Amino acid sequence: MLQALSKLIGGNASDGDVPDRVRLAIAEQQDAAERLIAWIQFGIIETFGSLYPISPKTSDIDPWMTPVGMSLAAYFAFSILRVWLAYRIRLPAWFLTLSVAADLTLLMMLIWSFHIQYDQPASFYLKAPTLLYVFIFIALRALRFEARFVLLAGLFSALGWLALVFYVVSIDPQDNMITRDYVAYMTSNTILLGAEFDKVISILMVTGILCVALVKARKLLERSVIEATAAADLARNRIENHPFRSTDPPGAGRGARSGDPECRYPRLHRHGQRHGSLGPDPAVARVRIAHGADHPGPWRQYR
């Protein structure tokens, strides 16, 4: 899918055409982005863990002994491991996939637990604003220049929300809570399927737009790095092969000073010494003008 998207958008470099230096530079940028992602996700679980114990409860059970509490504790340990690994190794693709799945599974479980926590019908959690957190997790994956993880996060989010809707509809066969009245949907615990599908479409649209932006940004990054590398190589080759480039150590000329033209342009100076009888050389004249007519040194022979 991503290959078809890349061809549709267009570009001049595929992964096989990218030089190793460019690929290494992009990988280092992705490693830094993954460390940032790990810290942001750690901050998110810290927020969840701080708010969960003080939120209203309908039972006297220790909040950390409930499924949600144990899930938060497990995810906290996973977040610490992720931060540690981000500084130790280059995280493999399977671990990043597991991280995306863990993030969105935790979020969906948290949303699902609301109807139990507040002793309400299952349709109660479909109106929870916590769903907006899926856009945070999707956007986090955009910090890497890899659209596949953004696409993966979007698909996990859409499928997770569809699973929650299916749970609400199927939990009570006698009353599936479905309505076609928008006012009733907004003021009660009924379900408006069109509204739930609209949420899924919004998630998929945001995911698709971010994927297109990332594919174009990656191609632009590769092209920019390739051109910058080529320009640096060309400049270095021109300097090394320049006819007036000095191969002598600094100050090799007898009595030469660091500011003298013969020290800065030794080959040009030797050329003037060998062909002094031919008269002033135009290149030598330009150097004399640049350094002043009264500059000390053997250049006086051309006055």
Task: Name the least confident of 116-120, 136-140, 224-228.
Answer: 224-228
Q: Tell which wins on pLDDT, 133 or 263.
A: 133
pLDDT in the model for residue 55: 73
Residues β-bridged to residue 191: 178
Task: Give dist(CA 130, CA 9) in Å, integer.
Answer: 33
How confident is the model over 50-106, as pLDDT tens digits?
887 777 666 667 777 777 778 788 888 888 998 999 898 888 889 899 989 988 988
Residue 159: pLDDT over 80: yes
**Is residue 246 within 8 Å of 267, Cβ to Cβ?**
yes
**Is residue 195 within 8 Å of 123, Cβ to Cβ?**
no
Task: Give dist(CA 245, CA 240) in Å, integer.
Answer: 7
Enter the pTM of the model. 0.67
pLDDT band at 279 (very low <50, low <70, confident <90, very high): low
Nearest to 281 by CA among 301, 297, 254: 301
What Cα–Cα distance (Å) separates residue 186 from each residue in 81, 170, 179, 180, 190? 42, 21, 11, 11, 8
* Average pLDDT of the chain to the nearest whole number: 76
pLDDT band at 281 (very low <50, low <70, confident <90, very high): low
Mean pLDDT value of segment 198-207: 94
Task: Give dist(CA 47, CA 194) in Å, integer.
Answer: 32
pLDDT in the model for residue 277: 47
- Secondary structure (3-state) at 178: strand
pLDDT in the model for residue 84: 92
**Is residue 215 within 8 Å of 147, Cβ to Cβ?**
yes
Task: Give dist(CA 19, CA 227) in Å, integer.
Answer: 11
pLDDT in the model for residue 39: 92
HSE-CB for 243 with a 13 A CA cutoff? 5
Residue 283: pLDDT over 80: no
pLDDT in the model for residue 258: 47
Residue 292: pLDDT over 60: no
pLDDT band at 190 (very low <50, low <70, confident <90, very high): confident
pLDDT in the model for residue 134: 93
Report residue 178: phi and psi, to 5°.
-80, 140
Residue 154: pLDDT over 50: yes
